[in-house]
């Protein structure tokens, strides 16, 4: 693990611990890497509640209760599905924050969507944020980059949450 990733992980740990916040994760394209990063350092049990790796359409529908109609109309690689995944895992785990990822890491086109297209979403009790990423690397580097940018998005969301200050 490189120093950049480690610094981001340390910052996420610090922010969640200091603010006594909890987080859960719903991962598709990142396949558990965000959860791995969150649990790399000791002390994650203070804030990390749970993760669901819902790689298949069926698991998104059955475990997370993402609407089949939403998946049918928008596709699994969509900002709408990313938002719904984050909302559903936060409600399931009753955490302060939840983050989700869905996308196409490559190498082929999926649902007519190019390799490197990833959506990440964060859900809180008050609102849902989402971001579109266009990644240019190979499958493995896209996965690492999506996980890293997801954690950076968590930092941004927590730091911008003025009610905790």
**pLDDT value, residue 165:** 42
Longest C-alpha distance within the chain, in Å?
45
Angle at 51 between CA 152 and CA 20, to 5 degrees: 60
pTM of the model: 0.94
**pLDDT value, residue 9:** 97
**pLDDT value, residue 157:** 96
Could you list the pLDDT tens digit for every one of the 165 residues in the chain?
Answer: 799 999 999 999 999 999 999 999 999 999 999 999 999 999 999 999 999 999 999 999 999 999 999 999 999 999 999 999 999 999 999 999 999 999 999 888 888 899 999 999 999 999 999 999 999 999 999 999 999 999 999 999 999 986 544
Domains of the chain: 3-164 (3.90.950.20)
Pairing label, strands 48-53, 97-104: unpaired
């Amino acid at each position: 693990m490189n120093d950049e990733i480690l610094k981001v992980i340390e910052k996420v740990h610090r922010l969640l611990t200091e603010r006594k916040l909890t987080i859960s994760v719903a991962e598709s394209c990142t396949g558990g890497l965000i959860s791995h990063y969150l649990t790399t350092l000791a002390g994650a049990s203070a804030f990390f509640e749970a993760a669901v790796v819902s790689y298949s359409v069926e698991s998104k529908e059955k475990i997370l209760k993402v609407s089949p109609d939403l998946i049918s109309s928008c596709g699994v690689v969509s900002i709408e599905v990313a938002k719904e995944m984050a909302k559903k895992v936060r409600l399931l785990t009753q955490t302060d924050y939840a983050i989700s990822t869905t996308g196409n890491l490559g190498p082929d086109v999926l649902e007519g969507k190019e390799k490197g297209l990833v959506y990440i979403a964060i859900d809180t009790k008050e609102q849902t944020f989402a971001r579109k990423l266009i990644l240019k690397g190979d499958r493995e580097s896209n996965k690492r980059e999506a996980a890293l940018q997801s954690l950076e998005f968590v930092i941004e969301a927590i730091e911008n949450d003025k009610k905790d200050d």
